[in-house]
Every structure is written in structure tokens, then in C-alpha cells.
């Protein structure tokens, strides 16, 4: 059992063949539960834009909003490594702005690392952030912040040239000094090829089992979200129905004067 998970721990786990578990969290209460369940990495994902703020994409969420979520999560966590997404617009324009955004996340939330979507096109920004002492996790394959460029959330890198580019980008991230990368929604055979070409810990979501770990969005795993049904998603609960029925019972009890009862009064 590892005490506090660091970026080095992930490399240690990879070299021992121990799989890395990663889940999102966006608030104190869930982060406490996720951490106590011994998750290795908590991602304060920009998927908060979808599951918390109700936006259609991850594009609108702001740096201030990410910092708000991240600081709530950090207060709850004793063991896991806390990684925070740099949101769209906070790092794409130039490396100095990227560094400024990453510094704000680290200083204002107390998180341990940032995650950025993209490969060689954001190389200068990755460089600057890592040189400032901030660990960076990459994110390749389906990169939701570029949804308007691609137009769909379909499986990525199915074509030969895209697969080649993804392998190159993974090696690029490793050379730059990233400590791990997410691979999202790519063919399992491609993950296998990537893992042969790099020592970077690879954390998959819809990327099969030839990777070093798995990540899911907490609200999907718990079955709070019903509308999102990709093949890669395994729901461990149907919390949507459970919560709804608890609330319906409460509503009935209030209407029928069953709540509060004698023992629930002062
Ligand atoms: O924002 C997020 O939740 C993510 C995961 C899907 C990897 O980036």
C-alpha cells in the first residue's frame, strides 16, 4: 500500500505491472469518498463543464471555475494524486499564458499536477510549465476541447497516419518530461503498439486493456448520468434511480405529514 501517491509512484506502479486507477471528482464530499476508496489519481476534469455545469461541451468552463472545483477536492484528499485539467483557452494561445494558468491552479487550489490536451502543437507550453516545476499529464486520442474541429466524439486514430501521429505524440510527451498521459477512445490494438514504444504510464478511457491504468468520469461510473452510453462505460451503480426514489419518498412523507415525526422534533 502506497502512502501518498506522487508522480513517481505512478512510474513505480508501471514498472511493477500494477495498474493505476483514476477517477474524476469535482467537490469535497465525493472527493473524500473517492480518496477513502483508495483511488490512485483524482482528476478534477473539465468534464465538470458537462456533469456539473450542464454545458454540452467542455469548451465553456473557465480557469476560475476549475480552480474552485480543484480547491474543494484538494481539501478532501489525503492519499491520491490530484491532477487538474487546464481548461480550453487557458493554454492554447501562448506558452507564457499557459504557464500563468498552470501556476494559478497550483497556487490557488493546492493541486499536484495539471493535464493538457494535445501533442507537439502545445510542446512549448508543456516545456515552460514543466521547467517551472509543475508536473504535466498529457491527453491524446479523443480530445474533447477540440470537438468543434472534429465534429464528433467517435473513435480516434483509426487511420494509419493518425495512429502514427498518436505514437509520435506519445513519444514527444515522454521526451518533454510529462509524467503520464491519458489515451481516450482509440482502438485497443493501437494502445498495444503505443505501450511498446514508450515508458510513459498510459491511462486509458475507451482505449482497451493494453494500458497501465483506467480512468472514468465518476458520475458515469455511479450511474448518475443516464444519457451517456459509450461502449467503454461500465456503470457500477444506478444512482440516478436510487437518488430519485429517495427524493420521491421524501416528497411523499412531507405531503402526507409523515416527516418530521415525533422523534425528529425538538
Ligand atoms: O475531463 C475529464 O473528465 C477527462 C477524462 C475523461 C479523462 O479528461
Distance of CA 261 to the CA centre of its chain: 43
Both 58 and 190 in one domain: the answer is yes
Both 261 and 229 in one domain: the answer is no
Asked if the structure places residue 143 within a domain, the reply is yes
pLDDT tens-digit series, residues 74-83: 999 999 999 9
Residue 124 CB: number of other CB atoms within 10 A? 14
Both 178 and 212 in one domain: the answer is yes
- The answer, yes or no, to whether residue 243 has pLDDT greater than 90, is yes
pLDDT tens-digit series, residues 138-168: 999 999 999 999 999 999 999 999 999 999 9
**Which residue's alpha carbon is nearest to atom 5 within ligand 1?**
45
* Cα 134 from Cα 127, distance rounded (Å): 10
Asked if the structure places residue 116 within a domain, the reply is yes
Asked if the structure places residue 113 within a domain, the reply is yes
Both 204 and 247 in one domain: the answer is no
* Cα 216 from Cα 206, distance rounded (Å): 9
Residue 142 Cβ contacting ligand 1 at under 6 Å = no
**From 136, 205, 207, mutation site for ligand 1 pocket: most ligand atoms within 8 A of C-beta:** 205
Number of domains the chain is built from: 2
Asked if the structure places residue 2 within a domain, the reply is no
| CATH number (domain holding residue 196) | 3.20.20.60
pLDDT tens-digit series, residues 205-224: 999 999 999 999 999 999 99
**From 217, 218, 225, 230, mutation site for ligand 1 pocket: most ligand atoms within 8 A of C-beta:** 217
Asked if the structure places residue 154 within a domain, the reply is yes
Both 246 and 222 in one domain: the answer is no
Both 146 and 50 in one domain: the answer is yes
Both 122 and 210 in one domain: the answer is yes
Evaluate if pTM is beyond 0.95.
yes
Catalytic residue positions, numbered: 184
Residue 2: band (very low, low, confident or very high) from pLDDT cuts 50, 70, 90:
low
Distance from residue 45's CA to the centre of ligand 1 (Å): 5
- Residues with Cβ < 8 Å from 49, sequence gap 6 or more? 55, 57, 58, 59, 60, 61, 87
Both 15 and 112 in one domain: the answer is yes
pLDDT tens-digit series, residues 192-205: 999 999 999 999 99
Distance from residue 215's CA to the centre of ligand 1 (Å): 8
Mean pLDDT of 28-54: 98
Both 183 and 248 in one domain: the answer is no
Q: What is the DSSP string of the chain?
A: --SS--HHHHHHHHHHTPPEEEEE--SHHHHHHHHHTT-SEEEE-TTHHHHTT--SSSTT--HHHHHHHHHHHHHH-SSSEEEEEPPTTSSSS-HHHHHHHHHHHHHHH--SEEEEEBSGGGHHHHHHHHHTT--EEEEEES-GGGHHHH---PPP--SHHHHHHHHHHHHHHHHHT-SEEEEES--HHHHHHHHHH--S-EEEESS-SSSSEEEE-HHHHTT---S---TT---S--HHHHHHHHHHHHHHHHHTT-SS-GGG--
Distance from residue 266's CA to the centre of ligand 1 (Å): 46
Q: Which grid cell sits at 16? A: 511493477
Domain that holds residue 182: 7-235
Report the pLDDT value the prediction gives residue 79, as an integer from 0 to 100: 98
**From 21, 34, 39, 43, mutation site for ligand 1 pocket: most ligand atoms within 8 A of C-beta:** 43
* The total number of residues written for the chain in this structure: 266
For the CA of 46, the nearest atom of ligand 1: 1
Residue 203 Cβ contacting ligand 1 at under 6 Å = no
* Cα 177 from Cα 174, distance rounded (Å): 5
Both 133 and 213 in one domain: the answer is yes
Both 48 and 15 in one domain: the answer is yes
Asked if the structure places residue 1 within a domain, the reply is no
Both 103 and 65 in one domain: the answer is yes
Does residue 48 contact residue 94 with C-beta atoms inside 8 Å? no
Residue 70: band (very low, low, confident or very high) from pLDDT cuts 50, 70, 90:
very high
Amino acid at each position: 500500500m502506497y502512502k501518498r501517491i506522487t508522480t513517481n509512484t505512478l512510474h513505480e506502479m508501471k514498472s511493477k505491472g500494477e495498474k493505476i486507477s483514476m477517477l474524476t471528482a469535482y467537490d469535497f464530499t465525493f472527493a473524500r469518498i473517492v480518496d477513502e476508496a483508495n483511488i490512485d489519481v483524482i482528476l478534477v476534469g473539465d468534464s465538470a463543464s458537462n456533469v456539473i455545469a450542464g454545458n454540452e461541451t467542455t469548451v465553456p468552463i473557465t480557469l476560475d471555475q476549475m480552480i474552485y472545483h480543484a480547491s474543494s477536492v484538494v481539501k478532501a484528499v489525503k492519499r491520491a494524486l490530484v491532477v487538474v485539467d487546464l481548461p480550453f483557452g487557458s493554454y492554447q494561445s501562448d506558452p507564457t499564458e499557459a504557464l500563468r494558468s498552470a501556476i494559478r491552479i497550483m497556487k490557488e487550489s493546492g493541486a499536484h499536477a495539471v493535464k493538457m490536451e494535445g501533442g507537439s502543437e502545445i510542446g512549448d507550453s508543456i516545456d515552460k510549465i514543466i521547467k517551472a516545476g509543475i508536473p504535466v499529464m498529457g491527453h491524446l486520442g479523443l480530445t474533447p476541447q477540440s470537438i468543434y474541429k472534429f465534429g464528433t466524439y467517435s473513435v480516434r486514430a483509426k487511420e494509419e497516419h493518425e495512429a502514427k501521429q498518436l505514437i509520435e505524440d506519445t513519444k514527444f510527451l515522454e521526451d518533454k518530461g510529462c509524467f503520464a498521459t491519458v489515451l481516450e477512445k482509440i482502438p485497443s490494438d493501437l494502445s498495444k503498439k503505443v505501450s511498446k514504444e514508450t515508458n510513459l504510464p498510459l491511462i486509458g478511457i475507451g482505449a482497451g486493456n493494453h494500458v497501465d491504468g483506467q480512468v472514468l468520469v465518476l458520475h458515469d461510473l455511479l450511474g448518475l448520468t443516464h444519457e451517456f452510453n459509450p461502449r467503454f462505460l461500465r456503470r457500477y451503480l444506478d444512482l440516478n434511480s436510487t437518488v430519485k426514489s429517495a427524493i420521491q419518498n421524501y416528497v411523499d412523507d412531507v405531503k402526507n405529514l409523515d416527516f418530521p415525526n415525533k422523534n425528529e422534533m425538538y
